Amino acid sequence: MSRRSDRITLQARDSNAPEPTARVPLKKRKSEPSKKTPQPAAKKHRYEIQKCWPEDGLSPCILTETPHKELEPADPSNFKQYSFKNLFIKASPIPSLSWACSDDMWIKMISKELQYVHDKSYLQRHPKLQPKMRAILLDWLLEVSEVYSLHRQTAYLAQDFFDRFMLTQENVNKDYLQLIGITALFVASKIEEIYPPKIFEFAYVTDGACDVWDIQRTELHVLKALDWKLCPETPITWLKLYAQVAAQKDGQNFLEPQFCQDTYIQITQLLDLCMMDIRSLDYSYSVLAAAAFCHFSTFDVVHKISGLTWESVSDCVRWMTPFMDVLRSEPKPQLKNFPKVKSDDRHNIQTHVTYLDMLRKVQEHQDDGADCPLSPVAACALLTPPSSTEKPANP
């Protein structure tokens, strides 16, 4: 008889074969009280849904990561501290989309703005640097962007990477600013551009100050310092959304630009000039874009397309007033032709003008009209730029 585990196989018995030796049966173990297999504890949620619906029912719920509420660490010093904000979000101004949920897109944009932190106080970490050095660097990056026909989003990503990187460093010497800036533009171009310039082209525009190896080495340093968080919502992102929502009509494709290109490039020029000033980092990107849009439209429209209140944008609108006054004295920006750029995409290409000269004029008249009270009605009447026929012939 063959023996298999826990199975008996019947076979024909051979008469000449010896009798098999009887096997002593194994003693059965004493019956032990049945122990139930411990069930795994119910998985504890690491997330909780914050009910952010106000009484008017306009705000969706937001899923935020929460600490283990029942966890009591032995060493509290090693336990990660969490801080949370209650987010009460107005209804999404984005119209209904066939390819995505407009509410989800709106929540994602606002949540990303809270994750990507920028602060002008980083200059305190770098005693050898001054705000003017940042302005000179950004002005040069805008010029490089125009030379290579890079998009506005690329230039603004580079600005965000630079400011957030400097927030993680200490005692950076001014000699390294150009290397950090061109590296930030190199990384941004690889993210945003379909055909980004080659790395040796970025090294070339530094006129020998940086070589390819310097940019590659600094690129890794920047990426690690930013923790690979490279997708912020820039002021251009918010501005394009506001302009598209304001011009959107029922039944039209939301992805196709509906806004006027001439007006759009005027607003972007105001944003470019404002971003040269480090005090722009006092405001969130969405507020900066809304305040710039308010200079070219009524606040009722701005409130409709952004959901922001006058109290949240009034300070930024007032701060932008000297910048707008200087731009009024400058020639009206014109759409430029770029090689290999389609006419319907020209407004998205970053341009460069004499921003440093205009910034100097702004700083000279920074305090003019600072005590002038602003209201939504007064601001729109005061800040709307005059027509070209009303501008002075000699600035």
Question: How many distinct structural domains can be found in the chain?
Answer: 2
Mean pLDDT of the 56-61 span: 48
More confident of the two residues 41 and 327: 327
Could you tell me if 146 and 217 lie in one domain?
yes
Dig out the tokens for 155 from the structure: 């230039």
Verify that 257 and 380 share a domain, yes or no: yes
Pair 368, 248 in one domain:
yes
The Cα angle at residue 376 between residues 373 and 381, in degrees rounded to 5 = 85
The pLDDT value recorded for residue 380 is: 39
Q: Is the dihedral of CA 178, 184, 190, 193 positive or negative?
A: negative
Give domain status of residue 37, yes or no: no
| Among 144, 126, 157, 163, CA closest to 279 | 163
Question: Which distant-in-sequence residues (6+ apart) come within 8 Å of 72 by Cβ?
Answer: none
pLDDT at 100: 76
The rounded distance, in Å, linking the Cα atoms of 169 and 65 is 28
Strand-pair partners of 64: 48
Same domain, yes or no, for 272 and 373?
yes
Q: Taking Cα atoms as reference points, which of 187, 300, 285, 188 lies closest to residue 240? A: 285
Looking at the structure, tell me whether residues 136 and 222 fall in a common domain. Answer: yes
**In this structure, are 246 and 216 located in the same domain?**
no
Q: Fill in the DSSP letter of residue 349.
A: B
What average pLDDT score do residues 325-340 get?
A: 90
Q: What is the pLDDT of residue 158?
A: 97
- Report whether 376 contacts 366 (CB < 8 A): no
- C-alpha–C-alpha distance, residues 372 and 221, integer Å: 46
Q: Are residues 385 and 243 in the same domain?
A: yes
pLDDT at 284 over 80: yes
Res 187: pLDDT: 97
Do residues 223 and 246 share a domain? no
Lowest mean pLDDT of 87-96, 301-310, 377-386, name the range. Answer: 377-386
- pLDDT in the model for residue 253: 63
Instruction: Using alpha carbons, list the distances in angstroms from residue 276 to 323, 358, 365, 368.
Output: 11, 10, 16, 19
How far apart are the C-alpha atoms of 65 and 84, rounded to whole Å? 9
Query: Residue 23: its pLDDT value, please?
Result: 53
Of 198, 215, 232, which closes a domain?
232
Domain assignment of residue 71, yes or no: no
| Confidence at 245, pLDDT banded by 50, 70, 90 | confident
pLDDT tens, position by position, 95-121: 777 777 878 888 888 888 888 988 888
Average confidence (pLDDT) over 32-36: 50
Q: Where a domain ends, among 232, 258, 281?
A: 232
Residue 381 within any structural domain of the chain: yes
Read off the amino acid at residue 237.
Answer: T
User: If residue 62 lies in a helix (H) or strand (E), which one and from where to where?
Assistant: strand 62-65
Mean pLDDT of 342-354: 91
Residue 292 lies in a domain: yes
Q: In Å, what is the CA distance from 354 to each residue of 2, 128, 332?
A: 96, 26, 13
Q: Please, are residues 236 and 154 in contact by the beta-carbon 8 Å criterion?
A: no
pLDDT 10s digits, 141-183: 999 999 999 999 999 999 999 999 999 999 999 999 999 999 9
Q: Rounded mean pLDDT of 330-349?
A: 89
Assess if residue 276 is contained within a domain. Answer: yes
The answer to whether position 100 is within a domain reads: no
Let me know whether 258 and 386 are in one domain: yes
234/111: higher pLDDT: 234
In-domain check, residue 83:
no
Smallest CA-to-CA distance from 385 within 307, 311, 295, 322 is with 295
Q: What is the CATH number of the domain that holds 188?
A: 1.10.472.10
Of 15-24, 54-63, 244-253, 318-327, the range with the lowest mean pLDDT is 54-63
Residue type, 112: K
Over residues 347-371, the mean pLDDT reads 84
> Same structural domain for residues 145 and 262?
no
222 and 246 together in one domain: no
Name the residue with tokens 């002008």.
120
> What average pLDDT does this structure show over 286-309?
92
Reduce the DSSP state of residue 48 to 3 states and report it.
strand
Burial class from Cβ neighbours inside 10 Å (0-12, 13-18, 19+) for residue 186 reads: buried
The SS3 assignment for 7 reads strand
Amino acid at 109: M
Q: Which of the listed residues 200, 232, 264 is the one where a domain comes to its end?
A: 232
Residue 364: which domain range?
A: 235-390
CA dihedral over 184, 185, 187, 192, signed as positive or negative: positive
* Structural contact between residues 237 and 116, judged by C-beta atoms closer than 8 angstroms: no
- Answer whether residue 40 shows pLDDT above 80: no
Per the model's pLDDT, the better-predicted residue between 144 and 246 turns out to be: 144
Hey, what are 122's tokens?
Answer: 């980083």
Beta pairing class for 7-8 and 3-4: antiparallel
3-state secondary structure of 353: coil
Residue 68 lies in a domain: no
Please name which of 336, 331, 354, 326 lies closest in space to residue 143, comparing C-alpha atoms: 354
Same domain assignment for residues 333 and 386: yes
265 vs 312: CA distance, rounded Å: 25
